Amino acid sequence: MVTNIEEGIAGEPYHDYTWPDVQMNTGYKMPPVALGTFRLREKTYETIKLALKLGYKLFDTAESYSGETRLMDFEISVLVLVLVLVHAFIPEEHCGPYDKTCKSSPWICWRALEELQLKGLIRSIGVSNIDSDTLKFLVGHFSKSSVSVVQNWFDPFHQDRAVRETCQEKNIIYMGYSTLGTLWMEIEGGYDVNPVLERKDVVESAMYSLLPTTSAVLRWAISRNVVVIPSTTTEDHLQKNLETRKQNADSYSSQLIDSLDGLLGDPEKED
């Protein structure tokens, strides 16, 4: 896991430190900043091409939106997959962990990944969209392999602290999606504008740090041991997102963002 370093002095830009790669419990490493391909759509190929040129080494993809296919268009030689996640680890009530009759059960998917890992075809495996209780059961009672990564919704207003605490206890890397707040505009009854980028507290934090708001949020997330996967198609934003790895975090702006957790409620727990 990434360890927090001494926080910088407020009001100064931070380019004198590079957040190190994070090491999974399988021994393999990944950078703390990746490119998410979820919203790239028809621009996926050109954006990945540009990201590779800029120095990106980690890409978040999924079969459901063709990110994996577009990445393979670059003829990258992949003999072993470094990390594969069960995309939505949300068990149905009637499908228990040992029920082999449920074809869509995430438990069965997990067993399949374990078998592929045992054969040497996958180096590390993990889960996405999982709650703390299910994660604890998976790690403590069900899994035969190490859970290396958890990928969940994470932003200043939805900090997912219970799952992150479990990850810290179990030496699991936590990866956050929608860290810049886009999910708040997509959920049912969501916002017309992005609250993460428009909320005065977050903007104040960015101004205090002399950074763009997006950079301040990503920098804060990295300082809280979260691997970030922001999605963008513009070269300027790709570069700025990547550069957050070289920016230390000051105490004031980080604590200000910390205090925002839960202020918008938790849509995942609402009926």
- Would 192 be classed as within a structural domain? yes
Helix, strand or coil for residue 23? strand
- Would 230 be classed as within a structural domain? yes
- Would 51 be classed as within a structural domain? yes
Dmax (CA) of the chain: 58
* Structural domain for 62, as ranges: 22-92+99-264
DSSP letters for 105-156? -HHHHHHHHHHHHHTTSEEEEEEES--HHHHHHIIIII-SS-EEEEEEE-BT
pLDDT by residue for the chain (271 residues), tens digit each? 222 223 333 444 444 678 999 999 999 999 999 999 888 888 888 998 899 999 999 999 876 555 555 565 666 555 467 899 998 898 887 688 888 788 779 999 999 999 999 999 899 999 999 999 999 999 999 999 999 999 999 999 999 999 999 999 999 999 999 999 999 999 888 899 999 999 988 988 888 888 899 999 999 999 999 999 999 999 999 999 999 999 888 888 899 999 999 999 988 776 5
- Would 74 be classed as within a structural domain? yes
What is the rounded distance in angstroms from the CA atom of residue 77 to the CA atom of residue 83?
A: 15
Asked whether 195 and 188 are in contact (CB, 8 A), the reply is: no
CA distances from 42 to 36, 48, 65, 66 (A): 14, 11, 10, 10
To the question of pTM greater than 0.85 for the whole model, the response is yes
- Would 200 be classed as within a structural domain? yes
- Would 125 be classed as within a structural domain? yes
- Would 231 be classed as within a structural domain? yes
- Tally of domains within the chain: 1
- Would 152 be classed as within a structural domain? yes
CATH code of residue 132 = 3.20.20.100
